[in-house]
Amino acid sequence: MEERKWEDLEFDCLVSVLGRVGMESLLLDVPFVCKSWYKASLNPSCWKRLEWNFTLLDKFKEKYKIHKCSVDAFTKFVVGRSNGNCTGLILPNGCTEEVLNYIADECPALISLSLPADRILSSEYSLLILPTVIGKWEHLENLWLESSDCLVYLITQIALACSKFSGLSVSSATIGEEQASAIVTYLPNIKSLILRGARMDLKNLVIILQGCKNLVHLDVRDCRGFISGDERVLELASNIKTFMCEGSMVDDYDDGIEMEEIRKWEDLEFDCLVSVLGRVGMESLLLDVPFVFKSWYKASLNPSCWKRLVFPQDIDSEWDVTLLDRFKEKYKIHKCSVDAFTKFVVGRSNGNCTGLFLPDDCSEEVLNYIADECPALISLSLPADHFLSSESLSILPTLIGKWEHLENLWLGSSDYLVDIINEITLACTKFSGLSVSSATIREEEASAIMYATAEVLSLVMKGILELASNIKTFMCEGSMVDDYDDGDHYIVHDYFDDDIDFDDDIYGHDNFDERFDGYRST
């Protein structure tokens, strides 16, 4: 501990690192390390990306002994730390139109904005003012909404003010002809569109598919108004890199004769069908696709559909209905082991599998099988050691040489890490990613990692933040020593600013909603 000289770490380097640790650490941890860290944490560059979670305000009040603080006051305080530099903002539940007006004035550089569900906003008028403030965010590229009654007006304002806008997410919305036409008319070059859980008829989805030619990502899962397997939808979406429509259906469908006349499955080209089915996922390929139509079943047998195989971890359980249970029920199979099922699915790829996430409880027999049957493997994920027998992991180093194209490997943990790394160094020239959770990294393991990665010349705990300053994504939150008693590094509470202007409202968090599924920042 005597060798730590925090003052030797350059200020700009420290700011660069602290800008990646996340808002929660900046508020609750960093200020209490030392005075220089506290000062660096006040730099606006550390507060460019602000994401709230529903427990943060409680933790903040407890940490700083604040008895009363409203959602609005806390939000404005944090946003104010960015001093106009905030580019990514996920607002918390319970904020009002006052906060929207505040960020409109204080966040001119905003690129990505996510708002909570309408029912979580404290006032029904909160979202109604959104179209009136959109014009202040000329750099806005991505907007996430849980729902909106003013979608058309909002889209028109985005088109007028935000020339780089490329991504819109509106969950559980009603997409009628007016809304679909507005998307096509005002956002024709949109690249990402998430309408999961929307009420949207087939004709309105077709309007979007025909009008938005630059779509790269379209998510219309769990919608009501069209059937996920509609051949016209699949054909129109065949050029979209990521297209998801699973779970979509009509609510009350009684016109079966007419639909059968419209659907001409045989008109859909085989290669096009294979291209689409290759994206629906392993579960749908096994349980849904083969039962739609004979041509779909034939297309599902094409090895190109089975390149990426992601098994659920808990594939065989006494407590839940699992994928293996559904498979046995669907095909009237009374007995089927995890090993047999895994080998059957992998065999469908006919050597074309490039990505494989193995289930729990598979044995060394499966590892030997994929070593022989998956020569093109690029990414491999193994379950935690406690789900694999000792024999299973012990043979892994001997198999690595068969995957010369391997680039990424995920291990739950491993007692054979050094042997595995040594074999990777010899056999896998393009290897670039290793994940080892809950492992014991001693000097031997650290040296093996360093030797296997030529770009890393040295990696020691002293100066770790400075060494990591050039790493694009560096995460170390929650790491600690088991017995740390150097209290000198935790005495900076007195240096924390005391000029926070909090109001007297009591903060409540009884009505929280989960953030929309599938959110990914750009």
Distance CA(122)–CA(72), nearest Å, equals 10
Distance CA 55, CA 79 (A): 17
- How many CB atoms within 10 Å of residue 387? 16
Integer CA distances (angstroms), 127 to 37, 135, 192, in order: 38, 15, 22
Q: So what's the pLDDT on residue 384? A: 64
- What single string gives the DSSP state of each residue in 249-295? B-SS---HHHHHHH--GGGS-HHHHHHHHTTS-HHHHHHTGGGT-HH
AA identity, residue 499? D
- Phi, psi (degrees; rounded to nearest 5) at 369: -65, -50
| Kind and range of the H or E run holding 168 | strand 167-170
Contact predicate 516/196, CB 8 Å? yes
Q: What are phi and psi of 497, to 5 degrees?
A: -65, 145
Same structural domain for residues 499 and 418? no
Q: Where are the alpha helices (DSSP H) in 30-96?
A: 35-41, 56-64, 71-81
Inside any domain, residue 432: yes
CA distance 371 to 193: 39
**Which structure tokens are listed for 28?**
């609750």
Residue 106, in any domain of the structure: yes
Domain count, the chain: 2
Quick check: is 181 in a domain?
no
* 390 and 518, same domain (yes or no): no
In the chain, the largest separation of any two C-alpha atoms, in whole Å, equals: 81
454/335 same-domain check = yes
pLDDT tens column, 32-90: 878 888 888 898 888 889 888 777 888 888 888 888 888 888 899 999 989 999 999 98
Query: Is residue 461 located within the same domain as residue 490?
Result: no
- Count Cα atoms within 13 angstroms, Cβ side, for 52: 29
Q: Do 92 and 15 belong to one domain?
A: yes
The closest alpha carbon to 365, from 410, 395, 333, belongs to: 395
Question: What's the pLDDT score for residue 470?
Answer: 62
**Does residue 430 sit within a domain?**
yes
> Which residue among 448, 468, 488 closes a domain?
468
Do 392 and 442 lie in a common domain? yes
**Do both 366 and 505 map to the same domain?**
no
State whether 441 and 504 are in the same domain.
Answer: no
Residue 489 and residue 108 in contact, taking contact as beta carbons nearer than 8 Å: no
Per-residue pLDDT of the chain (522 residues; tens, 9 = 90+): 455 555 556 777 778 878 788 888 888 888 887 888 888 889 888 888 988 877 788 888 888 888 888 888 889 999 998 999 999 998 888 788 888 899 999 999 999 999 876 544 544 445 678 888 998 999 999 999 876 668 898 999 999 999 999 999 998 788 999 999 999 999 999 999 999 888 999 999 999 999 999 999 999 988 888 888 788 889 999 999 999 988 888 765 444 434 444 445 445 677 877 887 888 788 888 988 888 777 888 888 999 999 999 887 665 544 456 888 888 888 888 888 888 999 999 999 999 999 999 887 788 889 999 999 999 999 998 876 544 555 667 888 999 999 999 999 988 766 788 888 889 989 998 888 888 876 777 888 788 777 765 543 333 333 345 555 666 666 666 555 554 344 433 333 333 333 333 333 322 323 222 222 222 232
Residues 38 and 155 in one domain: yes
CA torsion sign, 23 to 25 to 29 to 34? negative
Residue 29 and residue 65 in one domain: yes
pLDDT (tens digit, 9 = 90+) per residue, 91-116? 888 788 888 899 999 999 999 999 87
Examine residue 457 and state whether it is found in any structural domain, yes or no: yes
Tell me the two tokens of residue 306: 């089975």
Residue type, position 12, single letter: D
Going from the C-alpha of 342 to that of each of 4, 308, 316, 365, 488, the distances in angstroms are 50, 13, 11, 10, 54
Q: pTM for this one?
A: 0.51
| 314 and 424 in a common domain | yes
User: Are residues 414 and 314 part of one domain?
Assistant: yes
Task: Confirm if 140 and 158 have CB atoms less than 8 A apart.
Answer: yes
Closest CA to 114 of 20, 50, 35: 50
Identify whether 248 is part of a domain.
Answer: no
> Which residue segment(s) compose the domain that 374 sits in?
308-348+355-468
Q: 207: how many CB neighbours lie within 10 A of its CB?
A: 19
Which pair of structure tokens corresponds to residue 147?
């729902």
- Both tokens of 511, joined, read 């009505």
- What CATH number corresponds to the domain at position 397? 3.80.10
Tell me whether residue 216 is in a domain.
no
Nearest to 21 by CA among 522, 471, 477: 477
Sign of torsion over alpha carbons 296, 298, 303, 309: positive
Look up residue 279 and give its amino acid: R
Q: Is 221 part of a structural domain of the chain?
A: no
Give Cα 171 distance to the centre of its chain.
Answer: 16
Name beta bridge partners: 49: 88
Residue that finishes a domain, picked among 468, 496, 511? 468
Return d(Cα 315, Cα 357) in angstroms, integer. 12
Q: Could you please report the per-residue DSSP string of 448-473?
A: HHHHH-TT-----STTHHHHTTT-SS
